[in-house]
Amino acid sequence: MSINGETRGLSPDPAFWAGKRVLVTGHTGFKGSWLTLWLTRLGAAVTGLALAPNTQPSLFSLALADGAASHIADIRDLAAVQTCFETARPEIVLHLAAQALVRPSYADPVGTYATNVMGTVHVLEAARACFSVRTVVVVTSDKAYENREWPWAYRETEALGGFDPYSNSKGCAELVVSAYRNSFFAESGVRVASARAGNVIGGGDWSVDRLIPDIVRAFERSQSVEIRSPGAIRPWQHVLEPLAGYLALAERLSSADAAGFSEAWNFGPTDEDCRAVSYIIDQMVKNWGGAAGWHLSEKTHAHEAHFLKVDSSKARARLGWDRRLRLDDALAWTTQWYRDHDKGASARDLTLAQIEAYERLA
């Protein structure tokens, strides 16, 4: 495992998280599984709320099935969400559950809005009625911004929007957070913030129609991977980077000096790591070796943003958060995870080893 990242950023404080009752929505997903495993390692009492894993294999099934109290339910069901809150009595809520892909949102816009908008309403409504909740972090997306294909990064004060149903639903979710914060939480002592992260990569992602899993599936079969937008530029980062930001934000929101932190936050890489899709594939080909390769898709595809970056200056200045892994290192970690797992290594052990290595970089 290569560890050549820059030694910057704060690690989560085990003394803070030990014994904390934490509810993670979306804990069966890729990011949610990494986050739940990290919180469990920190000593938190974690409860998860999500649909059953929708991929086979899944990181949750391989690494977490016995590691946290798990409520398999749909956040579109308000009663089920409220029951979970009543049972778990969380102090901190980290809301990650979502329909998280652009192209499926074209096929099912109603389901996408129901999950990403009304699901967020249900989580905040349940939090409002739960006396134990003190801190809520709602994870949306860098795609929540009105994308004007600018060559510079979007700041938290830029207009929200979104061309496609997924991106637009995340912009709507941000407005929901703002309305609930102003209408219900401002005077209650509950701190509510939102987090907008760039594109994440890492081991254990087997999602359909996502770049790294598509690459890995093709390479494992010694096939050329089909790529639809090799020139599209995205803010790539290892999955642990934004997760460290969410935890840092939750810690600050829970502190005595939390004034001014209940707002929106970007967690993305530096400009040098905002690279074209073709760069990601070429590095994965180099890391994987063998017969790995790629070719351009000749099909017609739905619209997706070409150029997207977020400005994380606020998180660096006010939270002490920063990226620790350069993109090339993040890609090396990701490739190594899949290669080692393919050789029989435990998904749980691989994930915990990278969490521990990441913590040592701080």
Spell out the per-residue pLDDT of the chain, length 362, in tens.
444 444 456 789 999 999 999 999 999 999 999 999 999 999 999 999 999 999 999 999 999 877 779 999 999 999 999 999 999 999 999 999 999 988 899 999 999 999 999 999 999 999 999 999 999 999 999 999 998 877 789 999 999 998 899 999 999 999 999 999 999 998 888 999 999 998 999 999 999 888 899 989 988 888 888 887 788 888 899 999 999 999 999 999 999 888 889 999 999 998 899 999 999 988 988 888 876 777 777 665 455 556 788 999 999 999 999 999 999 999 999 999 999 999 999 999 999 999 999 999 97
Sequence length of the chain is: 362
The one catalytic residue among 113, 145, 166, 338: 166
pTM for the full predicted model:
0.94
Domain that holds residue 111: 14-360
The number of CA neighbours under 13 Å toward the Cβ of 286 is: 10
166 is an active site residue: yes
d(CA 154, CA 151): 10
Assess if residue 347 is contained within a domain.
yes
Assess if residue 80 is contained within a domain.
yes
Residue 195 is predicted with a pLDDT of: 98
Assess if residue 57 is contained within a domain.
yes
Residue 362 is predicted with a pLDDT of: 78
Residue 300 is predicted with a pLDDT of: 53
d(CA 262, CA 138): 11
Looking at the structure of the chain, the number of domains it has is 1
Assess if residue 349 is contained within a domain.
yes
Assess if residue 209 is contained within a domain.
yes
The dihedral over CA atoms of 300, 302, 303, 307, expressed in degrees to the nearest 10, equals: -70
Residue 9 is predicted with a pLDDT of: 67
Assess if residue 193 is contained within a domain.
yes
- Residue 188: give its domain's CATH number: 3.40.50.720
Assess if residue 61 is contained within a domain.
yes
Residue 149 is predicted with a pLDDT of: 79
Q: Which amino acid is at 249?
A: L
What 8-state DSSP symbol labels residue 299? S
Residue 50 is predicted with a pLDDT of: 98
Assess if residue 202 is contained within a domain.
yes
d(CA 101, CA 107): 11
C-alpha triplet 330, 331, 335: angle, nearest 5°: 120
Residue 267 is predicted with a pLDDT of: 97
Radius of gyration of the chain (CA): 19
